[in-house]
């Protein structure tokens, strides 16, 4: 990488370093982690346009986080989630038709408008109400597309496992093999089973997407299935426990996950997943208590657990114990 150094009066190679920075915005000191470009010859800071742009983005994110304001990426998520354009959404909310465009270009919304957008992002019912009450403000095409997206969300949220999928058999196996397993613990065991199965076999155990929620990795349909249990152990009487369709290797991985992670409470498992790259990377830019439906990409899970397998030199599935013990000790000792 080359940049112009004013001190050296020459194009020089440079390196990038992180630096804690502060900026006063509207009378408030905003702290953030930025970057600086350092000349490899004289060690002085040099100007690099990409570094400046990065710092402006980090400052913007830090200010929004401090003020509790919605981010540009979250606004983009709203448009994608409800299959609606910037102009139609602005009109549905009774705002100027260019309001969302300005926000996506970097303008910072007021707290009132930000809170409305956050509610829309996290509450499809609120969005549906706005759509029905203000449908005359948008075209028939925009109304139809948004209605179809809302119907799909409602359909996904009401999944009841009537048609059994691979994850259903995995859940049954976990429930019958573990005593007093809570919904929180079940979510984390599914996540570890998916990761280690991929690491040892090269295949995914099930196809379901995992989301980076506040309390760690969550499979949405599983959450809705067992949410009424709260923090209590799951007591499932409807399953046919004799009909668990899993292969020998699938059961072997699950048995090792149960032995090495099933011994911990849901809250301990939550803390473990918070310390791991797939969840933390997916939630970059979010507050600790900020809800989100960001998907933890399967490729991210795959890479992390494959790296763990290599790092701990896991030759056998039973070697999972080396990792579970190590991460527990790092967090609690």
Residues 190 and 176 in one domain: yes
| pLDDT digit string, tens, across residues 185-222 | 999 999 999 999 999 999 999 999 999 999 999 999 89
Average pLDDT over residues 16-22: 87
* Of the candidates 319, 296, 292, the residue with the CA atom closest to the CA atom of residue 308: 319
Residues 60 and 174 in one domain: no
In this predicted structure, the answer to whether residue 238 has a pLDDT above a threshold of 80 is no
Residues 117 and 251 in one domain: no
pTM for the whole thing? 0.54
Residues 233 and 324 in one domain: yes
Q: Where are the alpha helices (DSSP H) in 98-139?
A: 99-104, 111-122, 124-133
Last residue of a domain, one of 157, 179, 204: 157
Residues 146 and 289 in one domain: no
Residues 189 and 322 in one domain: yes
| pLDDT digit string, tens, across residues 270-297 | 999 999 999 999 999 888 888 888 999 9
How many domains would you assign to the chain? 3
Last residue of a domain, one of 157, 189, 210: 157
CB atoms within 10 A of CB 63: 17
Q: For residue 127, give its domain range.
A: 72-157
What average pLDDT does the structure give for the chain? Answer: 90
Residues 209 and 77 in one domain: no
| pLDDT digit string, tens, across residues 27-79 | 888 888 888 999 999 999 999 999 998 898 888 878 887 888 888 878 888 99
Angle at 333 between CA 215 and CA 325, to 5 degrees: 70
More confident residue, 273 or 162: 273
Residues 204 and 318 in one domain: yes
> What per-residue confidence (pLDDT) applies to 158?
56
Residues 326 and 245 in one domain: yes
Last residue of a domain, one of 24, 49, 67: 67
């Amino acid at each position: 990488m080359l940049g112009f150094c004013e001190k050296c009066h020459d194009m020089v190679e440079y390196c990038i370093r992180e630096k804690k920075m502060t900026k006063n915005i509207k009378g408030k000191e905003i702290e953030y982690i930025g970057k600086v470009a350092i000349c490899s010859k004289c060690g002085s800071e040099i100007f690099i346009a990409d570094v400046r742009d990065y710092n402006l983005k980090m400052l913007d994110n830090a200010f929004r986080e401090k003020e509790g304001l919605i981010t540009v990426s979250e606004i983009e998520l709203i448009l994608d989630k409800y299959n609606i354009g910037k102009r139609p959404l602005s009109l549905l909310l009774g705002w100027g038709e260019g309001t969302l465009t300005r926000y996506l270009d970097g303008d910072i919304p007021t707290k009132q408008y930000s809170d409305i957008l956050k509610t829309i992002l996290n509450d499809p019912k609120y969005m549906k109400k706005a759509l029905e009450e203000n449908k005359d403000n948008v075209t028939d095409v925009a109304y139809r597309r948004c209605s179809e997206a809302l119907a799909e969300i409602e359909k996904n949220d009401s999944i009841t496992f009537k048609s059994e999928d691979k994850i259903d058999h995995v859940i049954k196996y976990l429930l019958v093999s573990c005593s007093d397993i809570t919904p929180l613990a079940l979510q984390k065991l599914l996540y570890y089973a998916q990761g280690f199965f991929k690491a040892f076999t090269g295949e995914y155990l099930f196809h379901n997407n995992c989301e980076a929620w506040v309390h760690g990795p969550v499979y949405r349909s599983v959450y809705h299935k067992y949410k009424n249990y709260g923090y209590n152990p799951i007591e499932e009487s409807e399953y046919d426990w004799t009909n668990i369709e899993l292969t020998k290797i699938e059961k072997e991985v699950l048995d090792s996950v149960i032995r090495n992670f099933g011994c911990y409470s849901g809250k301990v498992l939550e803390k473990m997943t918070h310390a791991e790259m797939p969840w933390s990377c997916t939630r970059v830019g979010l507050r600790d208590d900020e809800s989100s439906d960001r998907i933890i990409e399967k490729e991210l899970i795959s890479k992390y657990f494959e790296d763990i397998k290599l790092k701990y030199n896991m030759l056998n599935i039973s070697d999972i114990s080396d990792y579970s013990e190590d991460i527990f000790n790092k967090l609690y000792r």
